[in-house]
Homo-oligomer: A and B are copies of this chain.
């Protein structure tokens, strides 16, 4: 293009609110990948793995955003400011968010902000932590004769808000607790106190689809007693319910690092997910 191209834009650019999926870059959708390729600016969740950077277009401005990133874009208001600034300069902005933008991702808030500001945006759905963890761990979320409902919950909120624990303890649903690692013990204890079965299976799936992915299977009683512990610093999803017992053992992508793990206590047994050679079966705790 000529140097004389007018760079004064009269119209705002387009913001793509993109679900990046559960962690591994190849769990991006084709549509998400295409939108990313067209971006002038990539505003990405600081928690996304390194692998995503290779997908950013050369020359695009890449800005980490989110609570852990420290710098600009650390607060939701700052993220809104950045979206506004770049969109009003006529740029195509890819806002890359972990999981799906409309599940615990504040995508709804960002979209509402853009709409109010008159900036066009598109929503590109993503594989959420729910599906990422289920496929990684081989746990069916629904299963005929076992579970016909999934409840997507948030660990912190469950403990803070007026949760109807007796009702939750009675539920036959598969409970999927997002950001579930820290609240795990307290949630298990509450469910037990309100009548859930002590041998109800519970799975902690960490770093689903990332290298270092771990699945630990235990029971509600053992979890309530503090024996189900995180093995990583990565994101964890907790699955509770009878469907956890229907677990299968899929092959894992060959790019995965196989980690060995010797638990310090006999409970719970844990496994490092197997590499391409296929899965060793772990014993169930309890």
Contact = CB atoms under 8 A, between A and B. Distances in A.
Contacts of A173: 151
Identical chains in the assembly = 2
Interface residues of A, number: 72
B251 A29 contact: no
A149 B151 contact: yes
A246 B108 CA distance: 8
Nearest to A105: B142
A60 interface: no
A66 interface: no
Nearest to A149: B153
A143 interface: yes
A169 interface: no
Given A109-B143, A109-B144, A26 B30 contact: yes
Contacts of A102: 131, 134-135, 139-142
Interface of A: 14, 17, 19, 21-22, 24-31, 33-34, 100-104, 106-109, 111-112, 114-115, 120-128, 131-132, 134-136, 138-144, 148-154, 157, 161, 164, 167, 170, 173, 209, 243, 246, 248-253, 278
